[in-house]
Every structure is written in structure tokens, then in C-alpha cells.
Structure 1
Amino acid sequence: MSARTPAIMVQGTGSNVGKSLLVAGLCRLFARRGLRVRPFKPQNMSNNAAAVDGGEIGRAQALQARAAGVPATVHMNPVLLKPESDRRSQIIVQGKRYGRLEASAFRERGSLLPAVLSSFEHLSRDADLIIVEGAGSPAETNLRKGDIANMGFASAARVPVLLAGDIDRGGVIASLVGTHAVLSPDDQGLVRGFLINKFRGDVSLFEEGLATIATMTGWPTLGVVPWFKDAHMLPAEDALDLTSGTKTDATLKVAVPILPRIANFDDLDPLKLEPTVDLTMVPPGTPLPADADLIVIPGSKATMADLAFFRKQGWDIDLAAHLRHGGKVVGLCGGYQMLGRSISDPEGIEGEPSIVPGLGLLDVETILTTDKTVRPVQARHLPSGLDLSAYEIHLGRTSGADTVRAPFEVEGLPDGAVSPDGRVFGTYLHGLFATDAFRQAFLTSLHPEAATGSFYYEAEVERILDALADHLDHHLDTDQILRIARDGL
């Protein structure tokens, strides 16, 4: 990286401390000051991906690029690990499928550092400031060898670090002091300050805590960020962040089973935020609610394994009862594949070569192939004639009799399938509910009073990003953060 390109890296004392939103807010804040800001995450692990620039990156980095006011590129997240099981992940390098990584070989990811540094250098050529997001925690010293996500990257790229602690989960003093204690002296020296995130209550009560951390670590504090109540309204990166709605006066109830390898679940965000929709995320061990108007089967990174899990939960029985009582079903990507008569994996993409029966709610069959479709698209909803923006990330081809009633057209070709009675449909399109006109038309088709016509999803995301930037600017020493980035190491 050019020495003239300021950068700062936000690391955390653990996962889910709020790093992604802190980076998004800082991107919006400094972009509003007229700087050319670029987000960067060396390594991400998430099945919530975005199709950009001919490849895929973590959804959080796409949101951060939006916050910075620039198009997202594959260089903003050069290494993306997409978990396929508890012990194996698909590796995406600079947007393209690279291979698989077994848990036993996790330390070998250090071989990807040249690609990471190449992408970082690429971004630096056209930036006034790069804001880097770490992954997990630098305190995982067992993973320090071969690290490209935290201190390994910061050291190689010579980027100063800002360490964030989450006070909401408790033990934040121990988390920050303990992180300092286990880091090597060289890694300790990369940290230029710390902040406290997700604070509730009277900040003055924590002044002694700040002093303790500063004394025991030698790191200065850069601020205490109170709880940001609208954080849940921005796209979540981790499936652990998925929450259900609590709208007792909603017109429609939408239920979504939480699959073990649920993917691209930001598809659901526009429905979650609709004032008239109560979105219920159904955890394992819980039946699909009998009073749901619509059941959405989401995308999956391991379609066949998640289909087996779906059946093990008895959700196939609940789904059949839902349809008997007049309910409707939507399958998105992997969920679409599950709705068909069968899924065939002749090349062993998801394990041993096999063929499994689907849920049989659509007269289609899916064959998994090694060719991966990753692209943003402009589509048309054929029944309404409405245009919408969406994206595709999937393996496989789906065909069959019910595709003659394809609900969408993409670049002149049909996409998806609809059952003869019109109550089940599936599509490979992600992000379709973010288009306000389509979402409102779709909800109205379920219930005439389901769409208020006054909620605009994209505008709401912009409002929240601006509010987040204001929030951070008020509670953090953002001038000092910028000075740290400019001074470097």
C-alpha cells in the first residue's frame, strides 16, 4: 500500500461486537466530509454474500461500500469463506470460487495473504482513506500463525488498529485487558486506541472502567458508543443475528425456518421492516406456526443437507398442513430447489454423488453443477409487469413443467416456477423484496391491506446509515481516529 493512503483497522475483542456497523458508520461519516473512502475486510466468513463486479463478497462489505457512496468491488473482501459444514468452507478469492478449506487446514490460509495485499493495494490507488474490518478476535492466539484477518494483516500492511469491546455482553474490561495480555508485544504496538460499543445507561458510571483499561493496556480511549437502536434494521452478516418481529397489530404473518446453512438471509430484511408484516424466524425444534399467511424457505449453502434437516424437524409436515389451510409458500434459491421433485448431485458437489427427493410442491427437478452463477440482474415480474433489481448466486439448473409459469424474466429468459394453483413459487433471484413497487404488489396479492405504500426500503437504509454516522460522530473522537489513520505506524 502506498504510504500516502491513510488506513485504520477496526478489530474486536470477539465476534458480533459490532465491527461491521462501526465500519459502515465511519465510512458514511468520512465520506460526508468529502473523503474518498473504501471499506476493506481481508477475510470474511459468512454465507450472506453480495454479487458485485463479476464476483461475490460479504454482504457487510457491500453495505459499507454503499455507506461510502462507491460501487462495491471484489477487492473489498478478497477472501470470503462460506461454511458448508462445521468442518469445511468454500473459499472465494477476489470474487471467484477458489476451492475448499477444511478446518484442519485453517492455518494454511496464510498462503492467501498475497491476494489480500494485492486487493488492498488496488483499493489504495483511488482512496483518501481505507477503513478495514477485522474478523473474530485477535486474542485467538492459536490462529495467529497464518493469520490474514486481524493482526497478521495489520502487521503486513502496516495499518494501525482500533480495538472495539462490546459492553452489552458483559466483561468488557476483562475482554480488552485480556486481549492486551495475550497479544505479543509487536501486536500490542499495532493498537492505537480502544472504544466501548453498545453501552446502555449512564456513561459517567463507566469512567472508572475506562481508566482501568487505559492504565492496564496503555491504550487511550477513543469513546463510548451508546446502543444504536436501529442497528437491527440494517442487513445482518451473521445468522446468529436473525431475530423475529413482534408486531402484534400486523396484517400478515410470514414465517421463515432457520436452516443450519441459511444463506443470503438479507432477502428477508425488507419484509421484516414492513410495518404491516410480522416476520417470524423459526428456530430448530419449533414447528412452523399454523397461523402463518406465508412461509418463505430461504437460500442455503448446503441445499441437500438443509433439506434433510428440514425434514428432520418435521417442517415438511407443517408445510403440507399450511398449504391445506390455504397458505402460500415462496422458495428462494436453495429454497426453490428444495420445493421441487428431486435434487441431483452427480458430481458430488455437496458430498457423495447422490439424488434426493425434494418436497414435491413444484413440478421441477434440479441438477447441481460446478458452474456457479454470480451476477446482479435486472428482472421483470411477469404477472404485474413490474421491473426490479436483484442478483443471483447459485449452483445448479432447474427445469420442469411448472417453469412454464415462470414468475420472472431475466434478460429475456424465464426464471423460477409456479404451481398450477398459484400458491407456491420459487425463484433463483435474491434481493427481489428490496424493490418497493414489487414488494408492495406482492404483499397486496396476499392481503389487500398488507402494503401501506408508504414504506420505502432503500430510502430507510440511507436514513439509518446517516443516523449511524451522526451517532458515531457524536460519541467517538473521530478527528483523532482520522489522525491515527493518517499518521500510520
Structure 2
Amino acid sequence: MSNNESLKPLMFAGTGSDVGKSIIAAAFCRIFLQDGYHPAPFKAQNMALNSYVTPAGLEIGRAQAVQAEAAGIACHTDMNPLLLKPSSDHTSQVVLHGKPIGNRSAYDYFRKEGREELRKEVCDAFDRLAQAYNPIVMEGAGSISEINLRDSDLVNLPMARHAQANVILVADIDRGGVFASVYGSIMLLNEEERKLIKGILINKFRGDIRLFQSGVEMLEKLCNVPVVGVVPYYKDIYIEEEDSVALQTKNRQAEAGKVNIAVVLLRHLSNFTDFNVLERDPRVHLFYTNNTDELQKADIILIPGTKSTLADLYELRRNGVAQTIVKAYREGVTVMGICGGYQIMGMEVCDPEGVEGEIIRLPGLGLLPVSTTMLGEKITRQVDFNFLDSNVVCHGYEIHMGNTVTSEAAEVIPLNSISDGQADGCFVNERCMGTYIHGILDNGAFIDFLLKPFAGKMEHKEFDFASFKEEQYNKLADHVRNHVNMDVIYQLMKSND
């Protein structure tokens, strides 16, 4: 079924961060797809360490890649033209149209000077997207009522005004204070801004929704804005989370009866979505930890990507985790590194030009006969590859700064052969390996290879993650559709007001 009726853009803005805007936007991308439209997601500016590489080899926020997947389309930088990747508490790498343009302090970034140039870039990206897709499902950032940043805001109501979008204000009732957060958010807006708010969506409700009907009526009377839905909290639908806030809810210890896989909880951990498939695989119990005792209980230790390889390597040496990983490997545990984790597993990591910071050189874990030198140029690309002697074509992506070379004295076997003829990674044996390829663990054939030494512990068969994800997007769409007044949503989007 195809529906060519033109719909106005819909923006999901929030009373604060982590209220569920990204997941709600993904749900509506799938709902509109189901209803015969050709939707696309858009977030002018995203701040996250979890990023993804588009088919063109450019970098965007992972949340918009997930939303594009829910919409049934390939992701593009126009869906997230501006990405901020925090490199410290005060600075971020600025990625514009998929390419880094430098590091900026928060103070410098949010100053008024130069904001109009960035505003034009994000507005132009939206305009291009709106020419190709219908409707555009937009996402705001943080709170819509950061009044101290009103003049420099690129992503919330100024963007909605440019797009002529209807704004739905999303509030998280689970954290408490929903009346104050909704009413306060709207009252802090000026009169023109308030006119953009066309609906309120209460998210993460627990309990009997009928008991909140009086609350709905109170909110509508207080704010003079309709409540378009009350969406219950769910536990049985699995959608990728946007950023490291989600790590706080991950498993933190080993479990009997399965293959226990520990992801080392780095301070600057990035792209933790690399482990989503393993987290859902019924053969596996995956947990995140930097506790030395818990690491020793693992069958497999995975060292993930990081935004600051040297800083995290320094911390691993300081807190004893580095020594624990080496000891665990010597005692039979499998150790694998991805991207920054691959660099950490080598003989040394050097940063002579100070690309990452003040640390010039550190010895690595010494598990792989490779050495890394940090470079200023970032490599971003999607890749097709085969691992070892497998003839199965796998898919993944690279996002890294640094050049890794093998020791001249060692006979090194690459882990992967990329379709363009290049080699990737390093394979010592089935218990020790590293790669630059994110998403390698999204490939069932590679997971089967990784788990093969533990066949005696596994009762379940392989896991079809692609089908699983499609099922989850449809379950999410059904869940949200059942608790949102879609007639009102469509009336808003078809209106010329």
C-alpha cells in the first residue's frame, strides 16, 4: 500500500533528556511506513558517542540510523547533519554532514557567533530531506525550555518553526513530577513558541492507565493542549538505546548455565550497540563490568570501542583491569577487542601529535603483536568482509582515528579480508583477536565462530537478529499505536493551520 497524501512534519520534543523521544520517533517512523507513507527521521543536532556510518561512509548519530531502519530506508547525513561526540566533560568533536570539523568547548560551541552558519546547514539538510520523504519525523534534544540557550538553539523549536512542524511534547511520568515538568516546560516558552505545541504525550506509564484519566484532564486544562496519548512502560520490546544512559540498566555480573561474555566497562565507551545481538542471543549471558572479580568469571572478554583510547588504557592499568584481562587470557578466557579495544590489546599506543590529549605513549596489554599511532584523520566507511577462511560475506562499518601496524618480527594472520582487498585486524588464535570493524558481532556466522569453543555450554541454536529487529519495530509500533490517538495525530499533520 502506498499513500501519497502530503503530511506536515511531526516533531517529538521533550521536557528533558532521556524521556524516550528517540524511541517514540522510531515508533512513528514504523507506523507511517505501515500506513503506506514514505517517512524519514530528522534530528538537527545530536550529542552521543554511539554513532553509525552511512552507506556513503559518513558519520551520524546511531539513533537516527535506528529510526531510518524503522522507516525502512537507508540512513543519510541529512537525517542528522550535526553530531557532537563528547571527548571530555568540557569538549566535543563536532561532526558536520558526517565529517569532523574540529573539537570545540561547550562554551565556544554555544556562543552566538557562527551559529547562523550552522543553522543554515541544518535547515538546508531538512529541506533536502523533506523533498524526498513524507512525512518527516523530527526529534528534539534535551528540554525545549532551556531558556538560557534560546538564541543558540538549532534543534528544538527554532527548527520546528523552520519545518512548520507540529510539536508533540514528550514527558516521562516514570521519573516523577510529570505535571510540573509539562506545565513548567510550556509556561517557560514565549507566546509564539507555545503555539507550536500541539499535543502532549505521556511516556513510560506504569499501572492502570484508567487511574490517570483525571490527570489527563488536569493537564489539558492547565496547559490548554490536548494529551494525545499515554504510552505504558514496556519490558518485552527491544530497541537500540540512543546513548550511554542506557548502560546504567545493563547487566553487571556473570550468570550460570550460559556462555558468559563480559564487556569491559570503559570510561569513554562508545558504540556499545556492537553488543546488542549478543545481548539478545539465548545462548549468551552478556554483562558489562570493570570489576576484576567479575571479569575472571567470564568465558569471553570483549574490549569495546572508546572515544579516548589512551585515557581508557591508562585507567585500565591504574585500576588493575589490564592485568586481570591478561591473566584471564593466560587461564583460558577468550579476549577480543573492537576498534579502540583492538588498539588497547596491542603492544603500544602512541599519540605523538596529541590527537587525543596529553598522553603521548602507553604500553598496551601485549596480547596482539600490533602497535597503533593516533592520526588526525578519521576513517569512516561501511565494509563487506570475510573472516579467516570463511566464505560467508559479513557486513560492518569502521569509525576510527589511528593507524595500526603489525610487528615485523611476528607472522600475523589478519582476522578479516575486506572486499576491496585490504586486510583488517589481527588473529593470534581462536581465543585472542582484534578488529577495527564495528558491527562484526551483528553477523551470525562470526558469533557462531566466537562461541564454537563453548559448544558444550549451549542449549540453543543460532539467532536470526535481522528478523528479530523487524519483529521489535512492529511490536513497538503496535504498542504506541494502541495508546496514542492516531486520528488526532493525522488531523494535525493534514491541517493547513
Same fold by TM (over 0.5)?
A: yes
The corresponding residue for 1:158 is 164
Deviations 1:374-397 (A, max 9, x none): 111101011433321111111111
Matched-pair contact (CA < 8 Å) for 1:250–1:276:
no
The corresponding residue for 1:115 is 121
Question: Superposed, which structure 2 residues align to 1:347-426 within 5 Å?
Answer: 347-352=353-358, 354-401=360-407, 404-410=412-418, 411-419=420-428, 421-426=429-434
Q: How far apart are 1:445 and its partner, in Å? A: 3.2
Q: Distance in 2 between matches of 1:403 and 1:76?
A: 44
The corresponding residue for 1:12 is 14
**Moved beyond 3 Å, runs of 4+:** 245-250, 285-288, 445-451
The corresponding residue for 1:217 is 223
The corresponding residue for 2:243 is 238
Residues 1:338 and 2:344 aligned together: yes
Q: How far apart are 1:249 and its partner, in Å? A: 5.1
Matched-pair contact (CA < 8 Å) for 2:9–2:163:
no
Q: Report which stretch shifted further, 103-112 or 291-300.
A: 103-112
The corresponding residue for 1:462 is 470
Pick closer, same or farther for the CA change 1:312–1:63 going to 2, 3 Å. same
Q: How many residues align?
A: 484
The corresponding residue for 2:305 is 299
Matched-pair contact (CA < 8 Å) for 1:304–1:350:
yes
The corresponding residue for 1:103 is 106
Residues 1:51 and 2:49 aligned together: no
Q: Report which stretch shifted further, 35-44 or 393-402.
A: 393-402
Normalising by structure 2, report the TM-score: 0.93
Residue identity matched to 1:405: I
What is the aligned counterpart of 2:264 among 241, 250, 257? 257
Q: How far apart are 1:150 and its partner, in Å? A: 1.1
Q: Report which stretch shifted further, 304-313 or 82-91.
A: 304-313
Question: Superposed, which structure 2 residues align to 1:268-283 within 5 Å?
Answer: 268-282=275-289
RMSD: 2.0
Deviations 1:28-74 (A, max 9, x none): 01111111101001110111111002201111111111111111111
Normalising by structure 1, report the TM-score: 0.94
Pick closer, same or farther for the CA change 1:246–1:473 going to 2, 3 Å. farther
Q: How far apart are 1:288 and its partner, in Å? A: 4.1
Q: How far apart are 1:372 and its partner, in Å? A: 1.4
Deviations 1:269-318 (A, max 9, x none): 011001121111115x6654321001111001111111112223221122
Residue identity matched to 1:80: L
The corresponding residue for 2:450 is 442
Q: Distance in 2 between matches of 1:18 and 1:58?
A: 16
- Give the unaligned 5+ runs of structure 2: none
Q: How far apart are 1:335 and its partner, in Å? A: 0.6
Matched-pair contact (CA < 8 Å) for 2:395–2:443:
yes
The corresponding residue for 1:22 is 24
Residue identity matched to 1:388: C
SS at 1:326 equivalent: coil
SS at 1:405 equivalent: coil
Residue identity matched to 2:427: V
Residue identity matched to 1:96: K
Q: Distance in 1 between matches of 2:451 and 2:496?
A: 51
Q: How far apart are 1:403 and its partner, in Å? A: 7.3
The corresponding residue for 1:478 is 486
SS at 1:440 equivalent: helix
Q: Distance in 2 between matches of 1:126 and 1:334?
A: 37
Matched-pair contact (CA < 8 Å) for 1:39–1:76:
yes
Q: Distance in 1 between matches of 2:412 and 2:253?
A: 38
Q: How far apart are 1:438 and its partner, in Å? A: 2.1
Residues 1:289 and 2:295 aligned together: yes
Matched-pair contact (CA < 8 Å) for 2:444–2:462:
no
Q: How far apart are 1:408 and its partner, in Å? A: 0.7
Q: Distance in 2 between matches of 1:130 and 1:58?
A: 17
What is the aligned counterpart of 2:96 among 93, 96, 101? 93
Q: Distance in 1 between matches of 2:411 and 2:488?
A: 58
Matched residues, percent identical? 38
Q: Report which stretch shifted further, 341-350 or 100-109.
A: 100-109
What is the aligned counterpart of 1:82 among 68, 85, 94? 85
